[in-house]
Structure 1
Amino acid sequence: MEDNPNKYTIKLDKSTDTTDGIDTYNITWTIPIINQLLQTKAMDDVYRTLRHTVVEVPDTPFKMKVSFYGNAVIMICYLSSTSLFMKWSLEFKLANFSDVLPIKDYETIQANQWQYCRRIINLNNLSRDRTAPLYLSFKLIVSHAVKAGICRNIPLPYIELSEDFGILLTDDSFSDVTIKSAEGIEFKAHKNVLAVRSNVLRAHFEHSTKENISNVVETQWDTEVLRDVLTFVYTDEVPRVDDAPEKLLVAADYYELDRLTSLCEEALSNRLTVENAIDTLQLAELYSLNALILSTLNFIKNEPFKLIKETQGWKNIQSVEFIHWIYDVIVADGIILNYNDHTDILAAALNEVSIK
């Protein structure tokens, strides 16, 4: 891909696995002298609406976007021109500082909808090097594998695998490990099932660990949360997810159970209210739940903001930047789902620096 020396550079490295039907796109967006750009008039704090730069990545269905409001906060998004079944990760690097949002499970990405990736606050505090570029490295893994349905005249028996595995939780005939809740309630389980479902649980049974020797795993989780986690581990279902999704989410994240995390995310989105919207938004940002961030922002935008500001969640906000984010994205009609401003803010800032 040809670089534009007057703006920024986009580098694409694409690979295809024809056996599994997977395309992997490694896209690196390099923004030069970012600290100098943040100090330009183009990005001055007097602007109270989001300004953007959007780039199309040739030979891919993707666009990338960085949004700025003032010089304190950057938001990063991507968009696909077609609906895809995919997973992604993002690394940003500035001088000696880097951070990575790890790859999560596959999900369906709807066409022409901006997907929120992350927010960076006070980027100029991460490095004092005024010449250092900012690297935004996206890894986008697209699966094209589709299993075609086969028409049969003979009905298949009811699939009982999930139910059969669920019975293992109540039948301790062949259990080989005990897992305890914070209150000391014991559940009989099976090391091989736990290990194959969670790398975190697998680590308990590798080598000469205390858990592997004693065959007892003590946890920090309330009994009901632990019961729900184990139900999901054995059956891939969690019937009680709506009871306390915010508690279950913490355990799902801890054990790296991505599908359970997604189920909690969906439950939290379905129970949004004026009273819990701010708490939900903070929780979604803490665990990088991008779909929940977008749905919560849209919910807040469509509700009377006066009522939102009267909630306890709003009163408990500790971060001034978080308040500014809500005001600028919601109140100033800068919601990241709607992109109508075609001004290239990076080009304006780079032009200002080159004139000096």
Structure 2
Amino acid sequence: MSEVKCIKYDIIKEDIDTTLHKLLWDIQFDLISVPRELRSFARHNDVPVFQMKVEIFEEDDIIVNISYMYPCERYIKSILSMAERNEYYVISTSGYNMIQANEWHHLMTLKSDHIQVETTGMGQYLLMNFEFKFKVINNIRFKYESPNLKTRYNFQTFFITSLFSDVVLISNDGKEFKVHKIMLASQSDVFCAHISHDTCEAITNTIKSPFDAEVLEAVLSYIYGDKVVGIHKTTEQILIAADFYHIDGLKSLCEQELCQRINIENAVTLLELADAHNAVKLKNDALNFIKDNRADMIIKTTAWAELKSVHIVKLLFEAVKCGKECNVIYYECEFGTFFVA
């Protein structure tokens, strides 16, 4: 039997104009029988609100398209979390998008390596469990444009299927991605430079990347669908790649993720990362964290002991001096012993 079922639905009012909808969905799909499309309502207090549609396509691999419908015209930001094969994935849009009432809107496309298929005596079943979070702006007069989204269309299916691809992007570890010049050039002036001049890449339609496949796939996922798969796993490397390719929207997403993780052990490391890649928000948040009376603990960390940048040491001293005007604090690192009065 195939079914899509919302097993939990909570609505949390965040402020006067914004509500957070949290929905937990179970999806079971019989891969042998029809139909190849399922729909289901999510009800809150017996009132149908969100509707979910799941479509299955089988070519060389299994491909799953998931779409949603909302009964009102709203600005919506979506965040999807899923556990799969002992790993945890988070897919998030970078900003709010206007959706039309009672029309289907693409949420995500999954391919076989993110899908669990269970074989039983009764046949083959596709099993998925997702948590969807939708932030909804209820005041339609509120105008919010995703600052980095250069297209309102979602081309993720073209990335998954490689349909009409015209260039091959090769990762540092040898994986090939069949992609589209127009998508790369529209989101990154670095990619545009690779393919718009009389270069080897333009002639051979092949671009070699210095980044591993996992990081490159996250970059491409953002370019094609304004979503990032698994951003929590390799956030630092994705930020470096976003800075390298001049993809500001993706870089901003990585900064937001890392700012939530700042702690005593990693504050210095994240400050170094932010300074090296001009991540202004992350740099400011890390400095503020250090300045907030935590310096005496941070100087005991491994990151402090291994610090090699004089520039970062100066930044830290300035931050601590602003935070503790009346104390004399001594620090030891690779450069010797320093004090801030």
TM-score normalized with structure 1 length: 0.48
Between Structure 1 and Structure 2, the one with more helix by share is 1
Between Structure 1 and Structure 2, the one with more strand by share is 2
TM-score normalized with structure 2 length: 0.50
